[in-house]
Amino acid sequence: MLDKKTIKRVLSGIRATGRLHLGNYLGAIKGMIELQNNPDYETFYMVADAHTITTPFSVDELRQNRKEIIIDYLAAGLDPKKSTLFIQSQVSEHFELSFYFSSVTTIARMMHLPTYKEKVKQYPKHNTMALLNYPILMAADILLYKADLVPVGIDQEPHLEVAREIARKMNQIYKTSFPQPQRFATKGEYIPSLTGEGKMSKSIEGSYINLTDSLDKIRKKIRKVPTATIAGGPITGGIKTLFILSEIFLPKKTYEEFKEKYHSQTLKFVELKDTLAEAIYQELKPFQEKRKQIASNLTYVEKIIKEGAQKAKTVAQETLKEVKEKMGLS
């Protein structure tokens, strides 16, 4: 039996928008695994399928991708014996809590969020209520489990700030007992784009490496990273991306040698690029092999999903009961 006083809860999620990339892996999944393997935490990891419908999507792809993310989780090392793995929309309490939370959140606050503005710019014809409500649903995801820690990339910080504001307001007005969830940061909290501008993102072609990419594909993508013809000078753009990835994937000594060569203008970029591509592939290879195995056993995957929803629901119902009582809704 878990000791409720000392065990802290963790919740995170990834949208079901397609194949995962290195940014998702380094910014979120690595942190999810680290916390799962720490006995001081009880971990809940979901597929944020309802968040996926806040931007244009294909029904068939969504249906497929919900399962694919669970397979990715398992292949990356999330263990259903240690973590509750579930699909958000199968625990309807998320939506109910989200509606209650919307009563303490202003429209103006939501409209000012940088994440909202970016998406409206990207999909001007899809400026929906669901998109505006995105951070409120995310706050419900986290607070339904009274999670103290949320392993996500730095881009999610504005959403965590909203979750903390909602927790404070709910506690103040209705005397609920929500924690102030904090982000759990990894070394790869911000993985830059392969284009050398902005972050690695699924929606920017040429910016990412998928976790399922072959060595050949990774090599081709890394070779395309824009660099100067001569080494030396300030480390910016594509060169910065290469060095950030090198610091994560290469042994410290090799990374430092490449950096030294860069500054002394003796670096051959292709050498750095191919070494890096090989190192990334070596890290992804076990994941890719395990993924194939798991994907061939869908009965097992279905079982994990079903059990995960049941476990998540038990906790979710407890919180919702408290909220309804305190808000005069029961």
Give the binding site for ligand TYM (CB under 6 A). Answer: 11-15, 23-24, 26-28, 48, 51, 138, 141-142, 150, 152-153, 155-156, 159, 188-191, 199-201
**Cβ closest to ligand TYM, residue 63 vs residue 303:** 63
Cα separation, 2 vs 10, in Å, equals 14
Place of tokens 């998109």: 131
Strand partners, 210: 21
Sign of CA dihedral 273, 279, 282, 288: negative
Minimum Å distance from CB 163 to ligand TYM?
8
Cα separation, 57 vs 300, in Å, equals 27
Minimum Å distance from CB 28 to ligand TYM?
3
**Cβ closest to ligand TYM, residue 167 vs residue 267:** 167
Name residues whose C-beta falls within 8 Å of residue 134's C-beta, 6 or more positions apart in sequence.
51, 54, 115, 116, 119, 159
**DSSP letters spanning 130-156:** HHHTHHHHHHHHHHTTT-SEEE--GGG
Minimum Å distance from CB 12 to ligand TYM?
4
Minimum Å distance from CB 91 to ligand TYM?
12
- Taking each helix axis from N to C end, the angle separating 215-223 and 269-295, rounded to the nearest 10 degrees, works out to 140
Cα separation, 194 vs 117, in Å, equals 24
**Cβ closest to ligand TYM, residue 80 vs residue 188:** 188
**Cβ closest to ligand TYM, residue 85 vs residue 200:** 200
Minimum Å distance from CB 270 to ligand TYM?
25
The phi, psi pair for 280, rounded to 5°, reads -65, -45
Minimum Å distance from CB 62 to ligand TYM?
13
**Cβ closest to ligand TYM, residue 89 vs residue 227:** 89
Residue nearest to ligand TYM (CB): 27
Q: Which amino acid is residue 68, in one-letter code?
A: E
**Cβ closest to ligand TYM, residue 20 vs residue 267:** 20
